Amino acid sequence: MPSPATTVDADLAARVRAWIAGDPDPGDRAELQALLDVGDGPALADRFAAPLAFGTAGLRGPLQAGPSGMNRAVVRRAAAALAAHLGPGRRVVIGHDARHRSDVFARESAAVMAGAGLHAVLLPRALPTPVLAFAVRALAADAGVMVTASHNPPTDNGYKIYLGGPGDEGAQIVSPTDAEIEARIAAVGPVARIPLDPGFETAGEDLVTAYVTAICGLTTGDARDVLVAVTSLHGVGDETLRAAFARAGFAPPVAEPSQARPDPDFPTVAFPNPEEAGAMDRVLALGARIGADVVLANDPDADRLAVAVGDRVLTGDEVGRLLADHVLAHRPGPVATTIVSSAMLERIAEAHGVPVHRTLTGFKWLMRAAGGLVFAYEEALGYAVGPDVVRDKDGISAALLVAELAAAQRAAGRTLLDRLDDLERRHGVHATAQHVVRVQRPEQISRIMAALRAGPPAAVGPAAVERVEDLDRDGGPLPRADVLVLTLAGARIVVRPSGTEPKLKAYLEVVRPPGPDLAAQRAQAGTLLEALQEALAADLARRGG
């Protein structure tokens, strides 16, 4: 009778055995060997389907053995490739969050860098991603690595790379650098032959203090009387946020106790992402109990920020409007947002007499939008309120400015909602929404996008489609991207695959110009937006089969 392993394709089995022979982790070797022993061809094919590739926010994938997952072998190869790209003698700073194996992957990276003759500096403990991004600039490093999967499920981890020096100045890598590093990963020889040196440097707590001091310098007023409820969603943001609030002169925010300490299993939420329904339920309840002026939620690596007033959770576009107007009132200069974010930023920038730039999604593009940038945001809860301090989205510094703005509104007997009303009266109603299609297999996304390109709709609900732009065919001034833009009568829809998770995302916006009756304008925009959402959901479901 044939052994179970013979049910695995011979070529795949050979690749698996070769990987096992070079894998430095006994647990990962055992995982693959067990699958080989029972002949689980589908599981092995999944782990060896393709190497992880750089997406919107670096490498990201499930914690599993093999080239398609995040594991010590893959991390060593990525670190060796980055070291080869940089060359000996360069300085690299490495950070990590509190996810499963993040600390191991960070130390592996530091040892590989040191073994390749680079000056590797490891952050002192699990810290927010913005601290790492700050450290790249503060230490004049040639590159930075952050081990994190941000807001992904607990089964994932990831690897972000930042570059220092002219032109990059601490921003995440973009094309062609990502492709060059991927090519070097493919060219890395046996993992066992990658030299390691445990003599890397560990940074002191003074680096964290320097970050806190720098972001507190972004605050502009003296209003500090505000009651804030916060959650870090089991991530690493709570301690740093508290230090920043104290340094800036705010009273300590009230933390949701069940989510304040890091926990890589994220036990109280289905998804550790404040965008997801239900993720903020506990902190919203806390805010209601204490009568908070504003409720704040960071994602697990604290580079994103969600904001609520009472039981109303603001959209990323609404928070972006508030912060843009606040920043520009004190630091005029160019601003940037992405092609999927609200058009109101153009109106705000025009009112302040500054230029606005649009990029593809991702802060790796936003931070390169213009020289002298003073503010950037994307609707997915990411805000850069001090791009000269942190060249990435930063949920800690954004929280400081939201608290400052809420305190100023409270002093005037108002709330952030009143401030949003002011902006809509001045610039018009910009109603936005998002429709997400979660998939089990990536090919489902490709099928939907292909069907949209082959036969775009003539109308979505009651609105005729006036123009279709395919950024994969002609991005114009933007790099080519898998994005479709539908311009409708009085509305716009942008459809693209997520760069970090297995889902398709559609972004909808309805615009109504300023009018005498704000309530009526909102009602009209809301009615159309709801109709568009319903029609688009049905259309995408049909195309997805």
As annotated, the active-site residues are 150
- Give the Å distances, CA to CA, from 320 to 7, 84, 348: 54, 39, 11
Q: What per-residue string of b and e applies to 430-466 under the rule 16 or more CB within 10 Å gives b?
A: bbbbbbebebeeeebbeebbebbeeebbeebbebebe
What span, in angstroms and rounded, lies between the C-alpha atoms of 419 and 423?
7
**Distance, first Cα to last Cα, the chain:** 41
Interhelix angle 129-138/395-411, rounded to 10 degrees, is 110
Q: Per-residue DSSP letters for 94-151?
A: EEE-SSTTHHHHHHHHHHHHHHTT-EEEE-SSS--HHHHHHHHHHTT-SEEEEE--TT
For residue 334, the one-letter residue type is: P
Residues 6+ apart with CB under 8 A from 76: 24, 108, 112, 191, 194
Strands (E), 349-453: 356-359, 375-378, 382-384, 429-438
Give me the amino acid identity at 149.
A
Contact criterion met (CB below 8 Å) for 396 and 244: yes
Query: Which tokens go with 58?
Result: 């670096």
Helix (H, G, I), strand (E, B) or coil at 16: helix
Extract the tokens encoding 488: 């409708």
Query: Radius of gyration of the chain from Cα atoms?
Result: 24
Furthest C-alpha separation in the chain: 83
Token pair in block for residue 192: 């066992």
Tell me the H-state helices in 308-381: 316-328, 344-352, 363-366
Cβ(127)–Cβ(208) below 8 Å: yes
Exposed/middle/buried for residue 489 (C-beta within 10 Å: 0-12, 13-18, 19+): exposed
Of 226, 234, 277, the closest CA to residue 254 belongs to 226
Is the distance from CB of 242 to CB of 253 less than 8 angstroms? yes
What is the DSSP code string of 238-297? HHHHHHHHHHHTPPPPEE-GGGSS--TT-TT-SSS-TTSTTTTHHHHHHHHHHT-SEEEE
